[in-house]
Amino acid sequence: MCEGSHTGQSGCHCMGGRLRGMIQPRLLLSLAQKNSHGYELMEILSQEGDSPDPGSLYRALRSLEEDGLVCSSWNTSNAGPARRVYELTDLGLDYLHTWVVDIRKTRQKLDDFLAEYQNRFPEGRS
């Protein structure tokens, strides 16, 4: 989104096309599809265009676990070091459904905004 065309000392204040606050629903949806360990979740998010730093990812997983939305256990059956495997709980699935309702409402607000913008600036920048 930002092409570095800003001048002055204030720098860029663009979000660069990133959607903030989407790590939790992305993790819940990924875990609804398959129980996974942290590194695997990091790879999934990276493939989808989100690349949270490992600290943010594990803080999010810890927070989801504290809230009872995911649970974890140590997997020692594979060769190599033990890995903590995360699993979606029933409460987590309910919360995922709630996220989807909120995301749909947000999408509708964004669509309304863009339609209003298009009416005001028919030849506006994309």
Check if the beta carbon of residue 32 is closer than 8 Å to that of residue 95. Answer: no
> 23-120: which CATH topology?
Arc Repressor Mutant, subunit A (1.10.10)
H or E, element range at 115 = helix 90-120
pLDDT, average across residues 68-91: 93
pLDDT, average across residues 70-80: 89
Torsion of CA 16, 104, 117, 20, to 10 degrees: -20
Q: What is the domain partition of the chain in residue ranges?
A: 23-120
Of residues 60, 57, 56, the one with CA closest to residue 39: 57
pLDDT, average across residues 46-50: 82
pLDDT for the residue 76: 86
Sign of CA dihedral 106, 111, 117, 121: positive
pLDDT digits (tens, 9 = 90+) for 3-34: 444 444 445 444 444 556 789 999 999 999 99
Single pTM value for the model = 0.77
